[in-house]
Structure formats: C-alpha cells, structure tokens
Amino acid sequence: MRAAPGEFEIIREYFAGAPCGEGVVLGIGDDCALLQPPAGEQLATSVDTLVAGRHFPEGADPALVAGRALRVNLSDLAAMNARPLWFTLALTIPESDRTWLRGFADGLLQTARAYGISLVGGDTTRGPLTITVQVTGATAAPLRRDGARAGDAVFVSGPLGAAAAALPVILGERTVEPGCFQRAVSAYYAPEPQLQTAAALSGLASSALDISDGLLADLGHICAASNLDAELVMEDLPVDPLAVELAGSRALELAATGGDDYQLCFTVPPAMVDAVKERCAGGESAPVQIGTLVARTPGAQDRARVRCFLNGEEWQAARPGYRHF
Ligand code: ADP
Ligand code: MG
C-alpha cells in the first residue's frame, strides 16, 4: 500500500491536474491564480462552507459531498444570473486518506466539468472535515434581491420539499426501499443549479435568489430588500412528489419551510409573466407562479412579511426555516 500523501502530493495528485477553461491565465501552483475577467461583465463571487456533522453526515460518500459543495455554490451564481468561471477549494481533512481523496476529487472535478467551471487554487489543512468552496462567475445582467415592485408575481423555478423530506433518510434515521433511497440521495446531494432558468429570466425578472433555507425564509429576504410583503397561494406551491412519498401530509410544510432544494424564487412584473413562461418552456425547469408582492401594510413591523393562504384561509407554518444561530 502507498504511504499517506503529504500536503503537496495531495495538491499535485488530486487537484492540480484539473482542466482549466475560460480566463485562466495561471491556475494551481503559484502564490495566486491569475484570472482574466471577461470584458464588459461584472464578476459575481460567493463562498459556502460545509461542515461534517452539520451540512452532511460524518462518513458520507466523499464524491457526493464534493458534488454538493460545488453545486450549492453554483446555485448562488445562478441566483445572480452569473455564468460559472472559476472556483477555489479550502479543504480541511482529519487525515490524509487516498481512498477518500480519490472519491472527493473525482466527484468534485466531474461536477466542475459538467458546469464548465475551473478549479484555480485552494488551501489544504488538517483538522475536522470542512469543505469551503468559493466561486466566481461573470454577468452582464445581474439578478438582485432589491429590484422587486408591488404587484410583481412571485415564482419558484421548480418543485420544493424533496431535500428536506430526504434528510431523515440521508441521516440514516429512516429506512426506505432502494429506489426511494436513490431519489433521496440525489435530492439531497445533487441539487440542480438553475443556471439556464436564470439566463432565461434575464431582462424579465425584477429580483431573484436561490432557496437554501426554505421558501418562506428566503422570500422574506426579497421582501426585506425591496420593502414589500408577499402573499402566497399555498395550493399553487409545486410540492415535489418525493416529499409527498416520504412525508405525506407534512409535504406542504416541507415545501414551504424546508431548505436545501436550491430552486430559484424570483419576481416578475405583470407585463413580463407570459414572456417568462414562454422563455422557460422546454428548459431545465417549469417555473410556477405562487403568489404576489404587495405594498407593506403601515404599522405591520412585527408581522411576518410573507403571508400564506390555503383555500382562502390564512395558513401558518409550524417552523419558519433553518437558521444556524
Ligand atoms: P501558499 O503556501 O502560498 O498558501 P499552498 O502551499 O497552500 O500555497 O498551495 C500551493 C498551490 O496549490 C497554490 O496555488 C494553491 O492555490 C493550490 N492549492 C492548495 N490546496 C489546494 C486544493 N485543495 N485545491 C486546489 N488547489 C490547491
Ligand atoms: Mg495556502
């Protein structure tokens, strides 16, 4: 058996061979990467950390974990309508284990290739398993959170609730038949960053974000940034069939408050609604209108900004959404 690789062997053997695409003047190996920003576009950058035991189970398949780490970051680029260009990886591992590193690097670089993003640098340290990915993309038409207006339609890019419903399966708290297990694994570990949908919304949507902490919590951020309230029609929420299969009558609650689906929530001026549906037809997702933005009621400071109605009656979620602190 080969000895456990040291820091520089890890970088050389597992990460330095990553293929480099657009704008990479100098990739892994020097003190910094040198990157050429595309002319006339803005750079969009974002970072996310995944901690073992908090964002994924200790002992999880390293290829799946790597794929998820990159996908959740790509989702942030999608939410800004930015084209993926480059990423860095800060990897903290408890030990230098070839099998784990091979799985991790394969999962990471396979995902990177699929989305056309280049690994251009990173940092490798010893400690409790923690994965930090920082992504950079470019955009000529950013989708921000603060552009919404009263009367705009609220959309989601696709079905919700699957990842939250899958979580007990992923954590091993619940056993299901193999087909359902596979669907749970892909719902949780392989969310689809909505890059094409975002591109289709360019020039039409007034605001957007990706749903990582739950629809109600995340739509609340658009409302806060745009100083508006939202009213949602809960019977219009696209509930993922896997959520229904796994959670039955709790599926709607999970679709409203469960995180980790990484669909987009976006707003559209009424005059643009038909154009959005047309442009998205036949694409990676079929966006659904779930409500409307309304002017903030004066003196409503303490009331939730997002109000939900089910069959005409006000509907309240049992829990608002995920928060670390
Ligand atoms: P420095 O000592 O200047 O911080 P390092 O020795 O940490 O440099 O890294 C050497 C090179 O390898 C740098 O180009 C760095 O970006 C890259 N690198 C280190 N760790 C990783 C990793 N996990 N993935 C990709 N590139 C990495
Ligand atoms: Mg370093």
CATH number where 306 lies? 3.90.650.10
Inter-residue contact 119 to 88 (CB < 8 Å): yes
Residue 166 shares a structural domain with residue 43: no
User: Does residue 148 lie in a domain region?
Assistant: no
pTM more than 0.75: yes
Distance from Cα 122 to the centre of ligand 2, integer Å: 7
Inter-residue contact 139 to 44 (CB < 8 Å): yes
Domain count, the chain: 2
Mean pLDDT for the stretch of residues 182-188: 97
Residue 61 shares a structural domain with residue 170: no
Residue where one domain finishes, among candidates 82, 115, 139: 139
Inter-residue contact 71 to 112 (CB < 8 Å): no
Residues with CB under 5 A from ligand 2 (ion): 123
Residue where one domain finishes, among candidates 139, 161, 184: 139
Mean pLDDT for the stretch of residues 268-293: 93
Which ligand has its closest atom nearest to the C-alpha of 33? 1
Range of the domain at 116: 7-139
pLDDT cut 90: percent of the chain above it: 89
Residue 174 shares a structural domain with residue 107: no
Question: Could you say which DSSP state residue 151 is in?
Answer: T
User: Does residue 325 lie in a domain region?
Assistant: no
User: Does residue 322 lie in a domain region?
Assistant: no
Residue 158 shares a structural domain with residue 306: yes
Inter-residue contact 186 to 281 (CB < 8 Å): no
Residue where one domain finishes, among candidates 89, 104, 139: 139
Q: What is the pLDDT of residue 317?
A: 85
Residue 308 shares a structural domain with residue 267: yes
Which ligand 1 atom sits nearest the alpha carbon of residue 29? 14
Residue 250 shares a structural domain with residue 128: no
Indicate if the pLDDT at residue 320 is higher than 70. no
Which ligand 1 atom sits nearest the alpha carbon of residue 91? 23
> pLDDT-derived band of residue 93, with 50, 70 and 90 as boundaries?
very high
Residue 127 shares a structural domain with residue 245: no
> pLDDT-derived band of residue 297, with 50, 70 and 90 as boundaries?
confident
**For residue 136, how far is the Cα from the chain centroid?**
15
Residue 131 shares a structural domain with residue 197: no
Burial of 229 (0-12, 13-18, 19+ CB in 10 A): buried
